[in-house]
Amino acid sequence: MILSNNIMVTSGTEIGSRLPPLIWRTFRNIKAATMVTLGVTMLARSVVGASKPVTHFVFAEDGNLTAVADIIRRPDIHGVQMIYNWKQLETSKGHYNFSDIKTDLEVLETIDPTKKLFVQLQDRFDLPGNKSRRIPNYLLVEPEYEGGLYMQVNRFTHLPDGWQTKHWVPAVRGRFQDLLSALAQQLDGRIFGINLPETAFDYDGTLPQSICDGYFEGQMENLNHASSVFKKTMVIQYMNFWPCEAPGNQPYMKQAFAEAVSKKTFGLGGPDVRPWAEKQLRSSYHFFNENRHNMSHVAMAVQTPDLDFPNPRTNKTNTIDDFKSFSEDFLGSDIMFWTSHVFNATYPPPL
């Protein structure tokens, strides 16, 4: 007999000594089955709730592989993320030149033959001025492409602050998909992954609903095309904000995540890890959190501006552990890109 909090508890052995053999055997079998069921349930829950293994890349934002060679050689770094713009890869209409990517693959081989290249294909630009219009010239001048680029305008300063490719124009996104096909034909399997840049862009005032709908449809069409032509290379779409959406009314974000979950042919990610930032939490972050166990891949980037962004919970800048825990546990990332500016000879310790 065991006395606990004035409650008499009888052990299984004592019960068995008082029951007929057939009833006792039945009791033991039910008890054993119950324990097995409970154990399987707990194991399943732990597997579902467990973080996925995370693969880390250094982001060579300066475009110089040799400058980050020592970081690439770190055992905890799987490879390097590099940006290549559309104009760089399509020098004239239908003429593709992927020599920069191929050269970087060769350089990476000399640094460490086990390390991988992740390509960010850039078709939007955050600097104003004509020099930043880094798409092929024919897109800017031929009428069917309607100028090719949309001028971004900062809604606070009302000044130009970059360019966004007009993917709501079918002819424009058709040419972009041709570029994706050409890249896949030559580089599928040779590069670890390819990511399309963030979905957000700046505009002053309001956009026509036709542009908002067309932009979403175009981006998703591009993403699905990329995942159809790249059979061996991982495909990621950076998804942070959509134009014409507001917290609580996010049909584009909802549909995009639903497709990612159902198809599992591409992953989603974002250009910024900003732990507990309200603006991001109200946009894409809560979708990542809700779907973190159900997507094929989640790829999040810690870029230079994120290093100075304060953590609302601590009122301090984020530590490496802050970035990691939020990205891995809350957002569900299994890929992380790190700005090279967080590294030095001894820091951080292994990721």
Where exactly are the structural domains of the chain? 2-42, 52-342
Distance separating alpha carbons of residues 155 and 164, to the nearest angstrom? 15
The answer to whether 104 and 59 are in contact (CB under 8 A) is: no
27 band by pLDDT with thresholds 50, 70 and 90: very low
pLDDT at 209 over 50: yes
DSSP 5-29: TTEEE--HHHHHHHS-HHHHHHHHH
Q: What is the pLDDT of residue 205?
A: 84
What would the mean pLDDT of 2-8 be, rounded to a whole number? Answer: 35
Tell me which residue has tokens 């600097």. Answer: 127
* Residue (of 247, 254, 334, 321) closest to 292 by Cα position: 334
pTM equals 0.85
318 pLDDT exceeds 60? Answer: yes
Instruction: Report whether pLDDT(24) > 50.
Output: no
Give me the pLDDT at residue 346, please. 77
CA distances from 75 to 56, 57, 71, 79, 207 (A): 10, 11, 9, 10, 47
pLDDT in tens, 49-105: 446 799 999 999 999 999 999 999 999 999 999 999 999 999 999 999 999 999 999
Local structure of 275: helix, strand or coil = coil
Give backbone dihedrals phi and psi of 91, rounded to 5 degrees, phi first: -75, -30
Of 93-97, 112-116, 151-155, 263-267, the least confident: 151-155
- One-letter amino acid for residue 308 of the chain: D
CA distances from 311 to 106, 240, 247, 317, 347 (A): 40, 18, 21, 6, 21
CA distance 224 to 235: 9
Is 3.20.20.80 the CATH number for 52-342? yes
Cβ atoms of 328 and 54 closer than 8 Å: yes
151-188 pLDDT tens trace: 999 999 999 999 999 999 999 999 999 999 999 999 99
Residue 12 has pLDDT above 50, yes or no: no
Going by pLDDT thresholds of 50, 70 and 90, the confidence category of residue 17 is very low
Q: Is 300 within 8 Å of 333 (Cβ atoms)?
A: yes
Helices (H) and strands (E) in the chain, counts: 12, 17
